Chain A
């Protein structure tokens, strides 16, 4: 697809989401849309590093949790304004990404080794968050309810939907930029063959480090949103495997290294999640079983994801 066509399609999709609260009055549907957008954001984040960069992270919760905890701690313990906390929390996620990327790629970790290290770091952070006092340990942190724009909390779901939509728009912009920029071309080249990329003048370590930082930044937004929306965070939610898996599965099912893949994957996951919840009555862990099965089926039969299937037609 040409750049102009893709931009028009992205604007149309964002416009449809923006109009949704006007048309839809059902709180259930708005909640579902918010979860779709949140999953889209996480998948967009994962897609930058895992899809475009080919570095498969199994521990993106590390960035989600860091964004969430930084947002909560800065507001509750440091008494900072929510907007300032937002900026600092996103910076914290991005810096964590740069540090992890910097160290992992400095020491040549690739493929499954990189995946395992990201998984281990997320687990390490979960254990730390359970142990140190300022995270509230196992009890978690509760954010006082105070609905106003200055505290980034909203009285109704519409406000949260627009907050999220603004960042999903940034996610789309980043994906578009990767598809049509030198940095994106360098990232794809590094994914496909590091030696060739180096021979063509690409500093592959720097490219991968930047990709990790950008990806971590976007995943941090998801964490920040989670805290503002649910007003609560604990180590299991922040650094557990659930969001790492959700980000990865949505991105892969939707179609890696594509602009619309994350949204398509998020739609598929959330709709499927609702269906199984109705059918199975919300037995714990059922969603992970479904995710796993779906991932296996997609990778076996449609390795290019939903976006790949749609493109072929």
Chain B
């Protein structure tokens, strides 16, 4: 399988703080890949580096065989790499349809065509009923869908989703899972930062784990959730052995 995205020793420091350090990872084309890690691990910073919002202090990013290290975000988007933001930032003065049309305009110069394309995208993410509403009137769930729709409207080949499921209730999460799977089925590679493990287990074929700015594990969802390093990163030092101990104790009680 070919990789659509590759990083080599990617690092960024803010003063003395190494927010992302020596990250070499890759994303297979047409896959759903997850990036997980405890709060403050540097996931969103890494997304910033991948999408051009931050310039790395060292290392490189390769997208579709182009070296895109330090390239500006709008150029990345034109190459086919779109991202969403953790905190949804809709164009508040505009309707949902107009919001999505902004993304659609990347490939549609004509206003009418862009608005029509927006309608088609809205259908894919389940926003059809909200098209005429002001974007500022949307609920958190609606805003997340709008983030996704706008990015999708730029017709990306790689979509970076920054916690599109955070803040949604279980029902809304269940509603979004098939949407994301559908996007991948249409040939768009998805790299998602996610805390909702149910979704990660359900969607991702490969998982990268970031902690303290460094990659500590990667593999299938099943592999990484059993990895002692990952358990310690989430639950604290020594927890992996204690959990293993507890497991043995339970077995011996039976």
Chain B's closest residue to A198 (CB) is: B73
Q: Is A181 an interface residue (CB 8 A)?
A: yes
Residues of B within 8 A of A197 (CB): 102
Cα–Cα, bound, A180→B109 (Å): 11
- Render B2-22 as a binary contact track against A, CB cut-off 8 A, 1 for contact: 000000000000000000000
Q: Is A195 an interface residue (CB 8 A)?
A: yes
- Render B69-110 as a binary contact track against A, CB cut-off 8 A, 1 for contact: 000111001100011110001111110001001110110111
B51, A193: Cβ atoms closer than 8 Å: no
B106, A198: Cβ atoms closer than 8 Å: no
Residues of B within 8 A of A198 (CB): 53, 72-74, 77
Cα–Cα, bound, A201→B82 (Å): 8
B105, A186: Cβ atoms closer than 8 Å: yes
A182, B105: Cβ atoms closer than 8 Å: yes
A199, B83: Cβ atoms closer than 8 Å: yes
Chain A's closest residue to B99 (CB) is: A189
A200, B103: Cβ atoms closer than 8 Å: yes
- CB contacts under 8 Å to B, within A57-107, are none
A200, B114: Cβ atoms closer than 8 Å: no
B93, A202: Cβ atoms closer than 8 Å: no
A182, B93: Cβ atoms closer than 8 Å: no
Least distance between A248 CB and chain B CB atoms (Å) = 19
Chain A's closest residue to B147 (CB) is: A196
Least distance between B150 CB and chain A CB atoms (Å) = 6
Among A181, A186, A198, residue most surrounded by chain B Cβ atoms (within 10 Å): A198
Cα–Cα, bound, A180→B106 (Å): 15
A188, B94: Cβ atoms closer than 8 Å: yes
Cα–Cα, bound, A203→B75 (Å): 8
- Render A196-228 as a binary contact track against B, CB cut-off 8 A, 1 for contact: 111111111000000000000000000000000
Q: Is B111 an interface residue (CB 8 A)?
A: yes
Q: Is A257 an interface residue (CB 8 A)?
A: yes
- Number of B residues, CB within 8 Å of A: 32
Q: Is A274 an interface residue (CB 8 A)?
A: no
B109, A199: Cβ atoms closer than 8 Å: no
Cα–Cα, bound, A22→B109 (Å): 43
Across the interface, B89 reaches (CB within 8 A) one of A191, A193, A203, namely A193
Q: Is A145 an interface residue (CB 8 A)?
A: no
B101, A200: Cβ atoms closer than 8 Å: no
Q: Is B30 an interface residue (CB 8 A)?
A: no
Q: Is B151 an interface residue (CB 8 A)?
A: yes
A200, B111: Cβ atoms closer than 8 Å: no
Least distance between A38 CB and chain B CB atoms (Å) = 29
Residues of B within 8 A of A195 (CB): 53, 85, 89
A193, B90: Cβ atoms closer than 8 Å: yes
Q: Is B60 an interface residue (CB 8 A)?
A: no
Cα–Cα, bound, A203→B52 (Å): 13
Residues of B within 8 A of A196 (CB): 85, 89-91, 150
Least distance between B46 CB and chain A CB atoms (Å) = 16
Residues of A within 8 A of B151 (CB): 199-200
Least distance between B196 CB and chain A CB atoms (Å) = 22
Cα–Cα, bound, A195→B150 (Å): 13
Cα–Cα, bound, A212→B108 (Å): 24
Q: Is A185 an interface residue (CB 8 A)?
A: yes
- Using A199-B51, A200-B82, A201-B74 as known contacts, say yes or no to A193 and B91 having CB atoms under 8 A apart: yes
Cα–Cα, bound, A186→B108 (Å): 12
Residues of A within 8 A of B108 (CB): 182
Residues of B within 8 A of A180 (CB): 111
A200, B93: Cβ atoms closer than 8 Å: no
Cα–Cα, bound, A257→B85 (Å): 26
- Using A182-B109, A189-B91, A196-B85 as known contacts, say yes or no to A204 and B150 having CB atoms under 8 A apart: no
- Using A182-B105, A185-B114, A192-B94 as known contacts, say yes or no to A200 and B89 having CB atoms under 8 A apart: no
Least distance between B92 CB and chain A CB atoms (Å) = 6
Residues of B within 8 A of A257 (CB): 93
Across the interface, A192 reaches (CB within 8 A) one of B93, B103, B109, namely B93
B102, A186: Cβ atoms closer than 8 Å: yes
Across the interface, A200 reaches (CB within 8 A) one of B53, B98, B110, B154, namely B154
Cα–Cα, bound, A201→B94 (Å): 18
Question: Given contacts A198-B73, A199-B53, could you give 20 more A-B pairs where the C-beta distance is less than 8 Å?
Answer: A181-B111, A182-B110, A182-B111, A185-B98, A185-B105, A192-B91, A192-B94, A196-B89, A196-B90, A197-B102, A198-B72, A200-B82, A200-B103, A200-B150, A201-B82, A201-B103, A201-B106, A203-B74, A204-B74, A257-B93
Instruction: List residues of A whose CB falls within 8 A of some B CB.
Output: 180-182, 185-186, 188-189, 191-193, 195-204, 257
Question: Can you give 28 A-B contacts (C-beta < 8 A)?
Answer: A180-B111, A181-B111, A182-B108, A185-B98, A185-B102, A185-B111, A185-B114, A186-B102, A188-B93, A188-B94, A188-B98, A189-B94, A191-B93, A193-B89, A193-B90, A195-B85, A196-B85, A196-B89, A196-B90, A196-B91, A196-B150, A199-B85, A200-B103, A201-B74, A201-B77, A203-B74, A204-B74, A257-B93
